[in-house]
Amino acid sequence: MNFLEFDENGIPIDPGDDPHRSFEPSMDVSGNIAANIVMAEEEINARAIEARNYFNNLMHFEYEDLVGNGAFGIAVRVKWTGVGRSRRFIVKRARNEDSARELRHEIDIMAMGGKGVALAEKYAYEIDPADHTTYAQNLNGAAHIASVIAYEDDRRGGRRRRYQQWRLRSRFARRVASIFGRRVPSYFLVGLPGPSLALEYLENGTMDRFRKKLDENNDIVPNRILWRIFLCWADSKLEEFGNIPPSRLVHGDMHPGNMLFGTIGDFPEHDIVPPVKLIDFGLSFRNPVGVMWNISDIAKNMMWLIIQRLVPLGVWPLDYNDIVTEGAPLLDAQWAPKTRHLDPELLDILLRCLAQSPLDRPTLAQLLQVAKDAVQNRDQEYYGAEAFQESDVSIQRFVQQYIYDA
């Protein structure tokens, strides 16, 4: 069985074929596409220049680089300096009004506790402020979610007044605050037009970069690393949305580009592998089976990492132990070189997480129990002496090569 892969635009690629469309667009379509591309580039450049000029003229701030852009807008890296220390973070800005609505929604979910009006406008349901405040509290500061440094929601009143007050503070007062304060000034975004969101800078790259680097070297991911990444993602679902009462919130855009490696922290599962953190909640939404949806997304991304291809789901259903699973690539001979080393229990739980029926998927509590047990109790000896790639030394070298030095 041959499995299709998606290109960067979401278009299926036939194995061995040119990864581009096989037809030429009409002149009208081509002209519209070209015009939209030019307009997008102009908007991106304008927002980036605006951010550069703003931060380079703000005391103790330095604009460093444009690190990302797309339909959502732009992401720039900014450095904040003080005496003897500095800190980098990412500032997200909208490209236009359409993307501004998405960014406002992300601010609602990650920082404001859902108290803004964007959720009601976009999804047409009544906001429960207490419910959304719980989401925000769980999101910000969670070990597996990118931390919010600051945000500016342009729907809030008093923006101009707050900005003027901050700018009117004496140069000496602002310098003292920067030197002796332990946090980045809370209002440093108020001078930027439109909504903006500042997040911690995760310097070790995306899961997609990790996947591509593995593929370039024809390498596989050791089981002990896979279990730790799996636990990260299961923990992130628990931290984001809570499980009592069952959540209805779905991330909505979970893919390898929205998952980044942090740095090793004070957590048992991160003794040798840095945590994976989830970003970009602009497309999140609520659904009655949100937890089951998220569980499927976790397993899908695990499968993509293991086989190192972004294959679509739902195309090749497979009967497996009395359920129908969408994880057929994990059992197909085409990917055997990438999967034959897999821990049988990891393979089994991924196939069950990818069950077509949400009722056939394990619960979040079951995922956490299995993953935590594997992380805590499975060392090189568990996989056999010949499994040299599972040793602490091999894993440390693997992490250095594919995450820190990539």
Q: Which residue has the tokens 């056999």?
A: 384
Residues forming a β-bridge with 68 = 75
Nearest to 299 by CA among 245, 341, 378, 360: 360
Q: Which residue has the tokens 């809570």?
A: 242
Q: Which residue has the tokens 């005391």?
A: 59
Q: Report in angstroms the alpha-carbon separations of 34 from 25, 30, 68, 98, 310.
A: 11, 6, 21, 19, 28
Tokens of 112: 């404001």
How are beta strands 61-70 and 259-261 bridged, if at all?
unpaired
How open is the CA angle 317-323-325, to the nearest 5 degrees?
A: 30
Helical spans, DSSP H, in 108-241: 118-123, 129-139, 159-168, 171-180, 207-216, 223-241
Alpha carbon 240 to its chain's center: 12
Query: Was 79 annotated as part of a binding site?
Result: no
Say how far apart CA 50 and CA 64 lie, in whole Å.
Answer: 13
Say how far apart CA 175 and CA 156 lie, in whole Å.
Answer: 27
Tokens of 262: 């942090």
Residues tagged in the binding site annotation: 92
Residues tagged in the binding site annotation for ATP: 92
